[in-house]
Amino acid sequence: MAKINFGGTTEEVVTRKEFPLKKAKTELQNEVIAVVGYGVQGPGQSLNLRDNGFNVIVGQRKNSKSWEKALTDGWIEGKTLFEIEKACQKGTIIQFLLSDAGQIQVWPKIIKYLTYGKTLYFSHGFGITFNEQTGIIPPKNIDVILVAPKGSGTSLRRLFVKGKGLNSSFAIHQDISGNARSKAIALGIGVGSGYLFETTFKKEVYSDLTGERGTLMGAIQGLFAAQYKILRKKGHSPSEAFNETVEEATQSLYPLVAENGMDWMYANCSTTAQRGALDWWKKFRDAVYPVFQELYDSVESGKETKITIEANQKEDYRINLEKELKEMRESELWKTGSEVRKLRP
């Protein structure tokens, strides 16, 4: 394992160099990998495993768009594509990739197939960490592992096709075989990970829920909306407010930050922008820190998962979701965004 110094803290990272695909295939040569669920992660992980030469089948409920998608992607009914229970029966490694709410509903039906020596695999620490809410408590005589790609299943597949990879975290919850760690790493390499970072189920889910509610999605929309609002209130046109809030950020600055880091970005802008950004960033940090504290507490206490599970189980979840998304889509900010996007040269 490579030891890498991350800003003063040394962490061990698994790379493809020390755990090449060949080794991963040898590790899993006697396994039948059943990828259960063909939503977002399911296609990415199963297709990458298949193209990497692993013995993989897909489990998906019938009469659904996801079943049709699996057929279109080349999975063959009765040979490599089965109903969920059948796939769990046939698989020796069950990759449980239903939506987190779907996992709770399907769990009672599949538990009987989790027999001695099998492996249960998750891509999120949600079900296991919050098992008082999810009811997902695996039998004691199987391995339970996690590989969580740090990105969408769509990106996982796209990068794989380009010959690249996405980084993933991995964790072990139960190691009955004594080999759970190697299995997790082999599967991580098999699904197309570039580098693998070790974590625990708990840390994975806490950081993930914080991130998506924070800077990845929740906080960023909040920040955009607040800046847009003040600019509009002070008489700036919608296009000016949008360009200064979102367009310049996503089109010009964020890709440069991704490539070179924030200090480089600060060093390579006008001295006017530089001075202002240096003066203001700590004020923003201090203003939102209490909100992040509240958010992490809400994740840790299980409040966030409770809200998520309750919302997802409601019959009218999709209808309400569409209402909330419509409100965002039809806000002046994002209506302006839709027009600005058309004007990109």
Q: Enumerate binding residues for ligand NAP (CB under 6 A).
A: 37-42, 60-61, 64-66, 97-100, 102, 105-106, 123-124, 126, 148-149, 152-153
Residue at token pair 């189980």: 313
* 239 vs 313, beta carbon nearer ligand NAP: 313
Catalytic residue check, 124? yes
* 67 vs 228, beta carbon nearer ligand NAP: 67
State the residue number with the nearest CB to ligand NAP.
39
Residue at token pair 């669920």: 37
Distance in angstroms (rounded) separating the CA atoms of residues 14 and 7: 18
Q: Is the dihedral of CA 122, 112, 99, 190 positive or negative?
A: positive
* 70 vs 265, beta carbon nearer ligand NAP: 70
CB 100 within 8 A of CB 126: yes
- Shortest Å, Cβ 122 to ligand NAP: 6
Where are the strands (E) in the chain, listed by range?
2-6, 9-15, 33-36, 56-59, 81-82, 93-96, 119-122, 143-149, 166-174, 193-198
β-pairing, 166-174 vs 143-149, is: antiparallel
Distance in angstroms (rounded) separating the CA atoms of residues 20 and 194: 10
- Shortest Å, Cβ 75 to ligand NAP: 12
- Shortest Å, Cβ 136 to ligand NAP: 11
Encoding tokens for residue 127?
A: 């079900």
- Shortest Å, Cβ 12 to ligand NAP: 22
Name the active-site residue from 50, 118, 124, 183. 124
* 67 vs 242, beta carbon nearer ligand NAP: 67
**Which sequence positions are flagged as catalytic?**
124
